Amino acid sequence: MNPEVLLSRIRVVLCRPSHPGNIGAVARAMKTMGMSQLYLVEPKQFPDPEADTRATGAVDILERAVVTATLGEALVGSVYAVALSARQRDLGPAIGQPRDAVADLLAEAEQGEVALVFGNETVGLSNEEILHCQAAVTIPTNPEFSSLNLGSAAQVLCYECRMAAFAGKPPVRSQGATPFASPAATHDEVEGLIGHLEAVMTATGFFNPLQPGRLLPKLRRLFGRVRLEKDEVNILRGILASTQVRTEHGRKG
Ligand code: SAH
């Protein structure tokens, strides 16, 4: 299925969020990853100017957000839900890794709407809320400090959703031509440069052909590593030619 359609089927559900700023941050996290369905279960304060400020360009997601009284209502019509929890709950589903859980979530999204369910900033998800979900995920963290900010946790999961929807290779906007790039130099052009360098280095006395050492192989390795472009070969050869003109003038004068 088209990756954008898959992403449009994922609801992000925030249970009892306390800080409107976090709701805005989640909206922004979602929009950057091509997701749009935000559900808010009993938000403490919403709508709120702080949410708009933190959403910046994603206010449209806040405007379309669905506010419900219970998690059950936010999941109406969905076929699968993954709980986000910083710790294992007694009765909840076994905790999995985000990448695996998101692969399952997207497979389910082929059938219908699915959800990522996040908890309150202070108390997380309740046991009852977790039991509405078919899978649970903990983002692996420093064991000493495992609780992410709500917006950050949402960003990690939304990123994983985008990666999975595009099979690991989402298009990057800046892809395409590198500014100022010229075509790759050919083998003979690089050889011409090395020959030119050798001549100049010999003329200046930097290189002694009778005792070549490792200088030329090292230079070859350097050029092999940088993958020279045509323009770059021309610039370097221009510089070399200019030193030859000077040494010849020097000799004449
Ligand atoms: N003190 C709470 C954490 C609240 S953070 C607790 O211990 O549960 C707010 C929400 O962000 C969490 O409910 C969870 O949905 C998400 N979150 C934060 N850190 C996370 C982590 N390491 N793994 C998965 N979800 C996390």
Q: Is the pLDDT of residue 81 over 60?
A: yes
Q: What is the pLDDT of residue 179?
A: 79
Confidence class of residue 253 from pLDDT cuts 50, 70 and 90? very low
The Cα–Cα gap between 121 and 123 comes to: 6
Q: Among candidates 204, 202, 205, 182, which has minimal Cα distance to 194?
A: 202
Q: What is the pLDDT of residue 167?
A: 96
The mean-pLDDT minimum among 12-26, 77-91, 192-206 falls in 77-91
Q: Which atom in ligand 1 lies closest to the alpha carbon of residue 117? A: 15
Exposure on the CB side of residue 243, measured as CA atoms within 13 A: 13
Query: Percent of the chain having pLDDT more than 70?
Result: 96
Q: Is the pLDDT of residue 156 over 90?
A: yes
194 shares its domain with 119? no
Identify the residue whose C-alpha is closest to ligand 1 atom 20: 86
The Cα–Cα gap between 58 and 154 comes to: 14
Q: Is residue 179 part of a domain?
A: no
**Mean pLDDT for the stretch of residues 23-27:** 98
CATH at residue 149: 3.40.1280.10
pTM higher than the cut 0.85: no
Q: What is the pLDDT of residue 249?
A: 62
Q: Is residue 208 part of a domain?
A: yes
Q: What is the pLDDT of residue 87?
A: 81
Q: Is residue 173 part of a domain?
A: no
The mean-pLDDT minimum among 16-20, 35-39, 124-128, 179-183 falls in 179-183
Asked if residue 139 lies in contact with residue 153, where contact means CB atoms within 8 angstroms, the answer is yes
CATH at residue 239: 1.10.8.590
Q: Which residues contact ligand 1 via a Cβ below 6 A?
A: 84-87, 118-119, 121, 124-125, 137-139, 141, 146-148, 150, 153
226 shares its domain with 107? no
Q: Is the pLDDT of residue 247 over 70?
A: no
What is the span of the domain harbouring residue 210? Answer: 187-252
Mutate to test the pocket of ligand 1, among 23, 26, 90, 148 (most ligand atoms within 8 A of CB): 148
pLDDT, the chain, mean: 94
